[in-house]
Chains A and B, each alone.
Chain A
């Protein structure tokens, strides 16, 4: 028996996520008056220009050459994060339950594989956080751990995979519930967390193309 109405909590967090996303993205659109000006190319040229200058996210040969350790760390974190979030069978079935769909994960792999991915994900996020704390520029520019929000953000980002890992190896449902509640809180407020850059990156390109004409 479930201690918490987890499906309802998840649905609520998804609705909050959508509402806050609209609020955050709407902010960009409200600045539209000025964006027409004489700037920009407009038309298909814009897309070509965007591709020439910006490239495809994360795929720059220079990236790896200049900083191989950071590149590996970042790619590994993102790859493990998305793989676990969208392909771990328990996640897939839970998300589908929340959305009222019937679907199973295409990746029915050994639990050891998912364990390795989770541990790698945790190691990466800890390393990324340490890089932020130690690095001179990042400390000054970003101001890591200057506000309670920063500590909360990174604590949750580390606690989510940690509680998930323990829940997968423990019969008790406490860790599972903590894992789900933390995830729901994070998903709900995601538009106002640094993780939203994953979505904003594509929105920025989309808005530019739309404003200047596709």
Chain B
């Protein structure tokens, strides 16, 4: 049976809008490091148009596999969206990339890179892309045992990256909310928000994950996300499911609690000024880089903004599963970002667990004397 490409109309319209002016390549972190024109946003647009045209028999269907073989380059996009800020029309290249990946996965699975196949396999088996089971059972028993009889109204959703690589941050967030008198629940087994499935191109798996999550989350009065990427995925891609769940993000939640006077700074921050790293998901996609600054101001922590921040922030190299496909390239991008951050301060603060993880690894490998912190940990030290 011939599998036809499936392309959302607005994404195709966007791809055909591209005038190939290539201004986006001036800010693309991938092009900056690879200098490969086939790994640039205009190339992805051209690719999607070619794939779409097979529906209308402009291109013989037999050629589709050849086109999709070339489309392998789209796995080298971090989906950071820097290109959008340079495009005269604001073309949403990440949507184009996701659509190409989805069609490659559907029609020509042999062309999908092996690491991506393994990620999907891991998502199906363990519910996360890291090929291992993530359990927060001990943390749940430690923190939620006393409130077993109470009505569980707030679910703390940590996301897989934070739970696996920085469970201490989850603990700190939970302690802060418990201190504020909020009855919380922590999932014993952490399941993915669906973003890796979406990014790998397995749309069916993503839809199933969304359904499962919405069913689970709608049982609670509210869900507090600890990961900015999970929260962005929820807001941008959960569609109708979004209206069924009352969700908020931990930084917004902490700000609300501080404003209401429920949480107050107990100690004063001692140390050098911190440099903020805005993740693409919050700084650019949701346009809300100001909340990190607001929290730092309320915690009376001196901070400095790097040259590229907010909407124009620079990628950490972790996005779009690039770290799974080409870890060296991801590391090089991360180094580039760290170079500019370390110039400002040796204490880097971010709200995205993936950015903190990526920065931490780069600092370690590059033997740079600096530290990357999650804002939750910093907030805990002052509010505990």
Contacts and interface: CB of A to CB of B under 8 A. Distances in A.
Whether chains A and B associate is: yes
Interface size class of A (residues with CB under 8 A): 35 or more
B356 to A, nearest CB: 24
Interface in B219-267: 235-242
A137 interface: yes
Interface stretch (B83-91, B116-124, B165-173): B83-91
A135 interface: yes
Interface string A14-57: 00000000000001111111110111111000000100111101
Contacts of A54: 84, 89-92
Interface stretch (A81-89, A102-110, A161-169, A197-205): A197-205
A33 B4 CA distance: 13
A7 B247 CA distance: 61
Given A31-B52, A63-B86, A211 B8 contact: yes
A63 B88 contact: yes
B26 A67 contact: yes
Interface string A185-214: 000000000100100110110011001100
Q: Max chain B CB contacts within 10 Å: which of A29, A38, A49, A138?
A: A38
Q: Max chain B CB contacts within 10 Å: which of A35, A74, A204?
A: A204
Contacts of B11: 35
B235 A41 contact: yes
Nearest to A36: B239
Q: Max chain A CB contacts within 10 Å: which of B17, B37, B206?
A: B17
Nearest to B207: A38
Chain B residues touching A, majority SS: helix
B20 A208 contact: no
B315 interface: no
Given A27-B56, A37-B239, A42-B239, A138 B20 contact: yes
Nearest to B286: A52
A53 B284 contact: yes
Contact of B10 (A38, A57, A141, A208): A208
Contacts of A55: 85, 90
A129 B327 CA distance: 38
B59 interface: no
B242 A57 contact: no
Interface in A77-134: none
Interface in B65-110: 81, 84-86, 88-92
A8 interface: no
A63 B21 CA distance: 12
A156 B20 CA distance: 19
A204 B239 contact: no
A207 B7 CA distance: 13
B380 interface: no
Contact of A66 (B12, B26, B56, B236): B26
B13 A204 contact: yes
B17 A41 contact: no
Contacts of B269: none
Interface in B6-59: 6-14, 16-23, 25-27, 31, 37-38, 40, 42-43, 46, 52, 55-56
B210 interface: yes
B203 interface: yes
Given A30-B55, A35-B8, 13 more contacts: A28-B9, A28-B13, A41-B239, A53-B287, A62-B85, A63-B23, A66-B27, A138-B20, A138-B21, A141-B22, A197-B16, A204-B10, A204-B17
Q: Which 8 A-B pairs have the closest CB atoms?
A: A54-B90, A208-B10, A204-B13, A140-B37, A35-B8, A52-B287, A38-B239, A142-B20
